[in-house]
């Protein structure tokens, strides 16, 4: 017999990310952030490989990444708008957790499953932050996929990738609800 948790289900049915540009201080302290990180790392992980790691960036660390992002944007020949958008999350962020996919060589667990696990860490951290009353948003952007930037500025090894950057803070305003997928269009029921 199932043991329902109606509060958890209600949270999942009504959860709403908060746009990163609306997040402000205060942000979680280390003591407040650690349970959220613990919840995120309980993510399903086929083979117990732990194919991910986290880097917590405070405001000073985020702000220090703005100039390197701009320099990479210029080197890549991006236009001013793309560069500004690329550095915005670093210039205005107060706290972010970079979820890094760190695949492990395994004969049993395909790398794609390890990628899915890293994405699950992102969603678990996002949901843990929201469930704790913080505003949170999962971002990436062109800079998070630029090898020279992530290896030099975030310390990624050549085999690692950024799965997401989870910004966490206090929300300034509750965003309006947005349209959600239509169950009838997205679900196929199969039975024999």
Binding residues: 15-17, 42, 46, 138-140
Buried b (16+ CB within 10 A) or exposed e, 74-84: eeeebeeeebe
Whether 166 and 97 have beta carbons less than 8 Å apart is answered as yes
**Residue ranges of E strands in 17-175:** 23-24, 52-58, 95-101, 135-139, 161-171
Neighbours of 93 (CB within 10 A): 26
Q: Are 149 and 90 in contact (CB under 8 A)?
A: no
120 and 44 Cβ atoms separated by less than 8 Å: yes
Binding region for FMN = 15-17, 42, 46, 138-140
- Residue 165, strand partner residues: 98, 139
Enter the tokens of residue 136. 């949170």
């Amino acid at each position: 017999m199932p043991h329902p948790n109606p509060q958890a289900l209600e949270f999942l049915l009504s959860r709403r990310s908060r746009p990163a540009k609306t997040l402000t201080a205060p942000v979680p302290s280390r003591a407040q952030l650690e349970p959220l990180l613990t919840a995120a790392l309980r993510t399903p992980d086929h083979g117990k490989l732990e194919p991910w790691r986290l880097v917590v960036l405070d405001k000073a660390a985020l702000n220090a990444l703005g100039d390197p992002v701009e320099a990479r944007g210029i080197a890549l020949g991006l236009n001013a708008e793309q560069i500004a958008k690329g550095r915005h999350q670093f210039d205005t962020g107060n706290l972010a957790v970079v979820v890094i996919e760190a695949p492990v060589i395994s004969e049993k667990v395909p790398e794609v499953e390890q990628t899915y696990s890293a994405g699950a860490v992102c969603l678990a951290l996002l949901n843990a932050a929201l469930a704790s009353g913080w505003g949170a948003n999962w971002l990436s952007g062109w800079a998070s996929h630029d090898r020279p930037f992530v290896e030099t500025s975030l310390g990624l090894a050549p085999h690692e990738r950024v799965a997401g950057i989870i910004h966490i803070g206090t929300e300034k305003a509750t965003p309006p609800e947005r349209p959600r997928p239509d169950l009838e269009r997205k679900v196929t029921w199969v039975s024999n």
